[in-house]
Amino acid sequence: MANRPGRQAHGAGQSAALRIGVGVAVLVAVYLVFELGRIQAGYNIVDAALERDTYEERLHDLREEALALKEQVRLLETHRSIDREAYSEVEASLSGLQEKIQEQRDAIGFYRGIISPDDGGRGLRVQELKLTQGQNDREYHLNLVLVQVMQHERSVKGDVAFSLEGAQDGAIVTYTLEQLVPEDEDSGWPFSFRYFQNFDRQLILPEGFAPEKVHIEVRSSTKSIASVKQSFLWQTGAS
């Protein structure tokens, strides 16, 4: 009778171990059944692991390809930017060269007109007259170039008489330079040159006056060099 509690404890331990073993066996059986079901359904854990590794490798390769493509795009954009800048520089240089060529042609034509004009004329003349709009409607800038053609043995001196003809209040009127220049500007227009001389004057037209013709008299005070009168239509360009 004294050994019964020990036997009961031993039996209880065996019963607990049996229950644990049965539980583990059930879990293993359930997992095996689960795996068997997946295998029967076409799923294999080994194949799935291999497929996952394949996908990860492919994903890594795609990422590498994407990085390489991004680098190529960056290089192409850089090259395109460089090409665009180089083209712009070439275009600007070409445009500048064409402007210089045109300036040289104009200069050659100008000096040829002084030395040997097409009409064979001699003496004083108005080589160029330009009128450009100023900051307001009545303000204009006048550029005048006088030349001495085929007669350069000595300088010529004199002055310029300028007048502007046009319509005002239905009548034809004429204004002199003194009436057209700003109040603080000298209306005198002397000249002295051997080959040519360039002038810039500012004009302020009266209210309601519509200019039509420019009359210029280049009056020589040098003996043997005749004065000259020339008239031009009023034509303006942008300033």
pLDDT digits (tens), the chain, 239 positions: 445 555 555 555 566 666 776 666 767 666 666 655 655 555 556 666 677 778 788 888 888 888 888 888 888 888 888 878 777 887 887 778 777 777 767 665 655 665 556 655 677 889 889 999 988 889 999 999 998 886 667 789 999 999 999 999 989 999 999 999 998 889 899 999 988 899 999 999 999 999 999 999 999 999 888 999 999 999 987 44
Contact 165, 129 (CB under 8 A): no
Strands (DSSP E) along the chain, which ranges?
A: 123-133, 139-149, 156-168, 171-176, 190-193, 196-204, 210-220, 228-233
As beta bridge partners, residue 196 has: 147
Contact 137, 113 (CB under 8 A): no
Contact 164, 180 (CB under 8 A): yes
Alpha carbons 180 and 164: distance in angstroms, whole number: 9
Structure tokens at 238: 């942008």
The full length of the chain comes to 239
- The radius of gyration computed from the CA coordinates of the chain, to the nearest angstrom, equals 51
pTM score, whole prediction: 0.53
What's the pLDDT score for residue 212?
96
Structure letter (DSSP) for residue 204 = E
Alpha carbons 176 and 215: distance in angstroms, whole number: 10
What's the pLDDT score for residue 30?
63
Pairing of strands 196-204, 139-149: antiparallel
Phi, psi angle pair for 230, to nearest 5°? -140, 145
What's the pLDDT score for residue 16?
66
Structure tokens at 26: 């059930």
Alpha carbons 174 and 214: distance in angstroms, whole number: 10
Alpha carbons 133 and 139: distance in angstroms, whole number: 6
As beta bridge partners, residue 48 has: none
Domains of the chain (ranges; CATH) run 123-233 (2.60.40.150)
Residue 117: CA count within 13 A, CB half-sphere: 15
